[in-house]
Structure 1
């Protein structure tokens, strides 16, 4: 193993020139097959069946040291220290009558007519709220997980109830969800035919609220990617719930459909309007996310198919970073890109001009007339609206404005106005992202873990370059699944220094670092440039900032090691 790893490092050095941002297929410093990764004893794999089960990691509970996973007909509770130990499983199939109805409707008996778990949310200190596709008849229930992990409690604790408005009927259609104060907010399709997309609040003692139905200004054939509650200032009433998705928009002639990456937001305390938008969001706004590259001739090539989102918290909430994976699958250009956005820039766009269609060609222009007060999209009871306690108190012109002008005029551009990682004409595409923040000897680094559609995970570090661009080095590429099944979900635990990856094959847990694989010499260790690792005088091992002074592996440039 050591000789193989060193050879891989040497190969990586030879291909160093191909690791520059924007190259098509850069070489990883170390590539480990599934068997080689197992031999390092830094990974574990778990599945409940030898057959594909469509595992989706949906919820991490670091307080109880558990990770909850939804799959076909099963909900798993796994030990995040070692997913192969103390695993708990609940078998939750669809009813036989619903399975027969599903088959009679012509749906796929294997990949459609099961109960594919798509919602796992913490409801309170002891229970999870779970929803599944229910053989194209969504169902929900509660699972008792106990108060402490040592209790090893995990069982269904209620009758099933309808999952309509909480989970998509079709398991191949994404469902995203967030639980806030025992209320469920979902982005999904609300009907059997998959034509009515909605952002919906349910499981509430208040009235249910949703997006305006069949209004393409609001949602146009969306594919939901993620949802996150993000603070906006110090007042909790000003916090917004952001939904990330991609949608298909028609051109001005109503013919060609273009895919755009979007981010929308609502106020969780929105209860709808009094006379207009009754039981509909009165705070819904959306903006376009741009991830593109500028060619030498000045043309802009867009990566519009948003695949995944990861939020990286910083010391200041307004400087929160949003990492996104984007792909492009046009007939002339294929590739993947990672763009990173600053929350301050996102807020600037949502505080900027609204989009308005005007003129004979119905072109988008900034809305330049009077904007009603309070500004559309402002939350009631917040810092800017202390005297307006509910959305039913909004003036009619505010509600009417939102209904007709939900779109912001300016798009949201990434930091540096370009991707930080770019892969074109590669034989794979990125599907998922997780990011860790590492304190190395020479500073702080963000390490990207990028899942691919060929069942591998790349560990990537982005370094400043002298060419006014960034240099993206693939430190490792790991085969985390034996049969190369595409990565469908990833969660990271910086506390445990572990990454959890799912596919239809199962779940793989892998350590964030394997310093010993880089080689037995100081030069091998430093050439790897892995911020997790450092030379301790005897071997390449994990770097701890609080320990004694050691040389970080990113501290020296390769040419400095030749002396």
Structure 2
């Protein structure tokens, strides 16, 4: 571990001597002593005795219809974003969903600590105009419910959260609704061995990735999912199977599935994706030897900037090395192009991974959506020939990585002792809604704010407006 950190240090030193970009400096800095006056949310309702504190264990923070939803342990809080707060932020509604005692007892019997045997809310989505879809870990027995948005009234029956929600609050997961169907990425078992990308609910067949197949998913950490065009795109990081001779190397990935996928035939990929493909995301500093930021931390939704549909993402160095972070942007057209490139294969367990010759790729091309203009002959995916289905089952990895816009990071932060872990973009900021503002958040509670200037090229000459230290241990640390 120490040797890896030293190796990274000397690599950074070498790149720095060759022209490693210096960290930008903000126009303004707001220190913790100033931001202490900012109001904070600690789980209280107005008009009550506010000396009592409870451990919140916040899992998600989402804005829907100008209401802020905070998903936490055993509770969901709603806050009105139009309400001014001076000293403390209060919730307007609180939904309580605690695990049944029988589930808690089973959780404890399986060896889990009492603090783990709660209902941590890990999925909170707007299912339609007036319905919330909520899933929680439920003391390691994940479950899902629907609630009426305006009253928080329970609707219908509770359903299983398996493959929709993780068992453990520490495990990553993502979920979204598209065309009435739930797309989720999580683990399906108590031991977190079976990672899955899954579709359920709605009027389409339930589908999943191939079970226990490291070519498909290998210890993934799921970050984001977006609905774009004919596909759902999943952003995550995982152990790179194509670099297995070098130990555990983590790569950032983007995978996609067709929204109209109905699974394979009874012979191949039945009840499994016929369109699942993945490739690497490249966020690196160019040079004689590229310096890669491989730990994908956060990804935005698709945003329209300067005539392009893009996603922006934060990356960092590994946690056992010197801290360093980068922000890279990706054109969705380039993401789509990567999935139309060459496939990658390993011909034997000991051989290196190489591109698949084009004449070895079957027709119709694996990974394309049934019923599209190039595949009019095949109306549904279970009509695909076995050659196509077997090929994509054995070759889910693409050869070429998705390049970042301008082939370099948009922003770097390497001379600090923290990593950037969050990103949010407002591309309709200002009184005339014609500015793009980028916010970056760190693991230390520091927020960086940028005004993106669009005059010449993509996000060129952006202004680093402000650095705010908003973490207040007096209010935020639970004793």
RMSD: 3.1
Name the CA shift for 1:161/1:440 in 2 (closer, same or farther; >3 Å).
Answer: closer
* 1:86-129 superposed Cα distances (whole Å, 9 cap, x missing partner): 6211011111222222223222322x211110111222222111
Q: Deviations over 1:441-495 (max 9, x none)?
A: 99965322001111121102456999xx96665311223331299xxxxxxxxxx
Q: 1:268 aligns with which of 256, 259, 268?
A: 259
Distance apart, 1:58 and its partner CA: 5.0
Q: Please give the residue correspondences for 1:68-79 in structure 2 after superposition, counting only pairs within 5 Å.
A: 68-79=69-80
Out of 261, 269, 281, which is 1:289 matched to?
281
Q: What is aligned with 1:104? A: 109
Query: Which residue matches 1:322?
Result: 311
Work out whether 1:91 is the aligned partner of 2:96: yes
State how far apart, in whole Å, the 2-side matches of 1:192 and 1:214 are: 15
Measured against aligned partners, the alpha-carbon deviations of 1:181-202 in whole angstroms (never above 9, x if no partner) come to 3321110011000110000112
Task: Tell me if 1:431 matches 2:421.
Answer: yes
**1:312, 1:435 within 8 Å by CA — same for their partners in 2?**
no
Deviation at 1:405, TM superposition (A): 1.0
Shift of 1:374: 2.4
Shifted more, 353-362 versus 177-186: the winner is: 353-362
Q: Give the conservation status (yes or no) of the 8 Å contact 2:43–2:91.
A: no
Equivalent of residue 180 in structure 2, options 182, 188, 191? 182
The SS at the match of 2:436 is strand
Question: Against the structure 1 CA distance between its residues 250 and 44, is the aligned structure 2 distance closer, same or farther, given a 3 Å change threshold?
Answer: same
Distance 1:403 1:396 in 2: 10
2:363 counterpart of 1:373? yes
1:23 lines up with 2:27 in the alignment? no
Q: Is the 8 A contact 2:77 2:91 kept in 1?
A: no
1:311 is paired with a residue whose SS is coil
SS in 2 for 1:403: helix
TM-score scaled by structure 1?
0.72
Gaps of 5+ in 2: 1-18, 45-52
TM-score scaled by length of structure 2: 0.84
Q: Is the 8 A contact 2:429 2:437 kept in 1?
A: no
Q: Write the distance in 1 (CA, Å) between the matches of 2:244 and 2:217.
A: 18
Match of 2:40 in 1: 45
- The CA distance in 1 between the partners of 2:61 and 2:431, in whole Å, is 34
- Using the alignment, how far apart are the partners of 2:136 and 2:275 within structure 1? 29
277 and 338 in structure 1: CA distance in 2 versus 1, 3 angstrom threshold:
same
Q: Secondary structure at the residue paired with 2:427?
A: strand
Relative to 1, partners in 2 of residues 1:440 and 1:207: Cα closer, same or farther, differing over 3 Å?
closer
Higher radius of gyration, 1 or 2:
1
Provide the rounded CA distance (Å) in 2 between the counterparts of 1:184 and 1:58. 19
- Identify the structure with bigger relative contact order (alpha carbons < 8 Å, sequence gap 6+): 1
Work out the CA distance in 2 between the residues paired with 1:195 and 1:256: 19
